[in-house]
Amino acid sequence: MRRGLYRCLIWLHPAVFRQCYSEEMLRIFDEAIGQGLLPLFVDGVRSLFRQWLLRSNIWKMAAGTVVSTVLIFGWWHSQESSLAAALRRGNPGALEEAKRRHLIEHGRPSDGVFGGVVQAAGTQTVETAPQSGARIPDPVDAIEGIVSAFKERPVVMIGEGHWLRQAGDFYTRLTRDPKFQETVQDIVVEFASRNNQPLLDRYIAGEDMPIEDVRRIWRDTTKVASWESPVYAHWLAAIREANRGLQPSRHLRVLAGDTPVDWSHIHSHSDWSALGDNNVSFAEVIIDKVLKKKHRALVVLGTNHVFKSGDRDGGDNTTTRVESLYPGSTYVVLLICEGGVARAAQDLLRLPNLTPPALLALAGTPLGKPTDPRELPLIKEANALLYIGPPESLKLALPPVGSLEPEYLKEVDRRSMIEWGELRARKFLAAAAQ
């Protein structure tokens, strides 16, 4: 009953927000069972309010309309007063002539409500500033921007929206870029567990392997069926292909970040819970396999793992754990997706020169300042924003119909009952699970 109510609360959010965060919110809900659910419901209601009101432009448009109307009314009233005085001084027709000329030359006074403020002289227009009231970041090509970020920090972390087709396309383009290949040694991923690192190494090195072994890389992780989107298989294949054209000493290595897991020994939810927080595993891989070796690495994890301020519950995440031992080592990039950063980025999304993929650094810009007194400045959460297209255009890449074998689906059902107590995986696997 309580879970059903929480699902309804999530469903009331905008569609793109649900695509990015619904599964994660449900997972947090399930993990909080027995620890008090009232705070989650309160936070969900606040989130709903923010998404539909504060993070939309409805209140801004209403306020802008009222202010502009008052300004124009005041200007027009002052003109009428001045011209009426001229009429009294013996200048018949001055008021009507001025009105006629203004309508011919400028259109009706209300034409400029959202484009600028007409000055009293009627000859000058001052364009309104962006809603942020100051300069916005200059967008740069995202691949060039990320490669440049490695000049500042050895670890660049992207907080991704899982299963997004446009995100997967960007990862592939980034991997194929020669400058990226010259700069980076390692790529740390969430969709592979550390016990499968040998399989991952063999595949990325170009070894011929049975498809059953290759699939184990993204199937045998702590998160049940969470990586069946073709986004991740295609990206691994692109890295494997890129290595074919590189000298062995320059091969990109993909590092499995997820906690080691052997599902043959997982029989209950307590067994699964004993695996612990996978932020610990991600941080260990970054520290031991990247920073201690003085390598540079691209790290792609879910957004909650990479916030500079810690996870949404105020605890340590991957970034804070790494920074505690290697201060200043990480450069965090958040995806512009409906949700956590969308409200602060609304002005950006209207830029005519914002062509995806684009990177927008936050330092020294209004987006580094708080947009809500109850929230941290965005600069405290990330160093830059990654724009891969308008949030409403982002699409999920679902696993193809028939891509999941019957035996594997039986195992998915078993694991689903262990992790969630229901056959939830079949729901998000959609037609592929039929």
Mean pLDDT of the 146-154 span:
97
Structure confidence at residue 392 (pLDDT): 81
The two tokens of residue 261 are: 């897991």
Q: Which of 384, 405, 339, 430 is nearest to 13 (CA)?
A: 339
pLDDT band at 282 (very low <50, low <70, confident <90, very high): very high
Structure confidence at residue 112 (pLDDT): 28
Q: For the segment 340-399, what is each residue's pLDDT rounded down to a tens digit?
A: 565 556 666 666 668 899 999 988 777 666 655 556 778 889 999 999 988 888 899 999
Find the range with the poorest average confidence among 50-54, 119-123, 386-390, 419-423.
119-123
CA distance 18 to 52: 13
User: Under the phi-then-psi rule, with left for phi > 0, alpha for psi from -120 to 50, and beta for the rest, what region is 133?
Assistant: left
| Residue 105 confidence (pLDDT) above 60 | no
pLDDT band at 100 (very low <50, low <70, confident <90, very high): very low
Structure confidence at residue 416 (pLDDT): 97
**Cα 331 off chain centre by:** 15
Mean pLDDT of the 55-70 span:
58
Structure confidence at residue 90 (pLDDT): 41
Look at 62 and 112; give whichever has higher pLDDT: 62
Structure confidence at residue 138 (pLDDT): 79
Threshold 0.75, pTM exceeds: no
Task: State which of 13-27, 99-113, 203-217 shows the largest mean pLDDT.
Answer: 203-217
Find the range with the poorest average confidence among 117-121, 136-140, 420-424.
117-121
Contact 232, 396 (CB under 8 A): no
What is the average pLDDT value for the chain, to the nearest integer? 80
Structure confidence at residue 380 (pLDDT): 87
| Residue 177 confidence (pLDDT) above 80 | yes
List, in sequence order, every beta strand (DSSP E) within 309-424.
Answer: 330-335, 358-361, 384-387
Structure confidence at residue 36 (pLDDT): 63
Beta-carbon contacts of 130 under 8 Å, excluding residues fewer than 6 positions away, are: 136, 347
The percent of residues above 90 in pLDDT, for the chain, comes to 55
CA distance 269 to 418: 5
CA distance 386 to 144: 12
The two tokens of residue 320 are: 């804070």
Structure confidence at residue 337 (pLDDT): 74
Q: For the segment 70-96, what is each residue's pLDDT rounded down to a tens digit?
A: 666 555 555 554 444 443 434 444 344
Mean pLDDT of the 225-243 span:
97
| Residue 99 confidence (pLDDT) above 50 | no
Structure confidence at residue 87 (pLDDT): 38
Contact 291, 322 (CB under 8 A): yes
Structure confidence at residue 201 (pLDDT): 98
| Residue 101 confidence (pLDDT) above 50 | no
Structure confidence at residue 313 (pLDDT): 87
pLDDT band at 259 (very low <50, low <70, confident <90, very high): very high
- CATH code of the domain occupying 140-393: 3.40.50.11550
Structure confidence at residue 53 (pLDDT): 59
pLDDT band at 18 (very low <50, low <70, confident <90, very high): low
Q: Where are the domains of the chain?
A: 58-127, 140-393
